[in-house]
Amino acid sequence: MLSKSSARMFFLVGTALCAVAFILLTLDTFQQIPGQTNQDELSPAAIRGKHLFDSSNCMGCHTILGEGAYYAPELTRVYDRRGPEFIAAMLRDPAAMYPGRRRMEQYDFTEEQISDLVAFLEWVGKMDLNGFPANPPLAANAGVAAAPDDGRPAIFGQMCTACHAVGGRGGSVGPSLDGVGTRFDAEYLTRWLTDPQSVRPGTAMPDLPLTEAQVSELTAYLVTLHD
């Protein structure tokens, strides 16, 4: 057995070694932060977006970088999952994106504020977080990054897969788009994407903020989907 003096010395030396190790690891961590967070790419827009994210209490519902609430989707990698078009559309009018389903508050952000928030989320998404957060088991069925390279336009992965699935990949809020090219022609699909309410009043399909070029891209892709 150790004597009282030996035990005291063992405790003091052990505590000192652990304290030194903790300080060295902390210093090493702080030295790596600029590189892992791409600090040099932190733009004025991303900084404004960070302040707006905090002042709007987004963490009251969302989790980001492991902190926040769990009521709404995790946002650390949302830029990769959904892309800028979808994020901007949700911030512009969340109720229109998921009619009767979403409870996200309407903040009435300006277009500049929306761009700032998108820039902030893009910057967060590029951080090297040592594999955090891990990709969920169902990641292969949804999201931008998980979309297969089958010729679908990028806007499809950003907007359409949030609600619709193709080949088992995507959301389940709306109907599957498998075979949609067999059921509808290009003219109908163009009208549907441009103004769904004029085609089917009362539909849950939102009026997506698509440009003419994006509508043409989506139509050209959808007509290729046959049973």
Q: Looking at residue 135, what is its pLDDT?
A: 66
pLDDT at 149: 53
pTM: 0.70
Supply the pLDDT for residue 52: 96
Query: Within 13 Å, how many C-alpha atoms sit on residue 211's CB side?
Result: 5
> In this structure, which CATH number among 1.10.760.10, 1.10.10.60, 3.30.360.10, 3.30.365.10 belongs to the domain 137-222?
1.10.760.10
In CATH terms, 40-134 corresponds, of 3.40.720.10, 3.30.590.20, 3.40.50.300, 1.10.760.10, to 1.10.760.10
Output the pLDDT for position 102: 66
- pLDDT per residue over 46-100, tens digit each? 999 999 999 999 999 999 998 999 888 899 999 988 889 889 989 998 887 776 6
Q: Which tokens go with 71?
A: 């009521």
Low-confidence ranges of the chain (pLDDT < 70): 1, 99-102, 135-150
The Cα–Cα gap between 33 and 136 comes to: 25
pLDDT at 100: 67
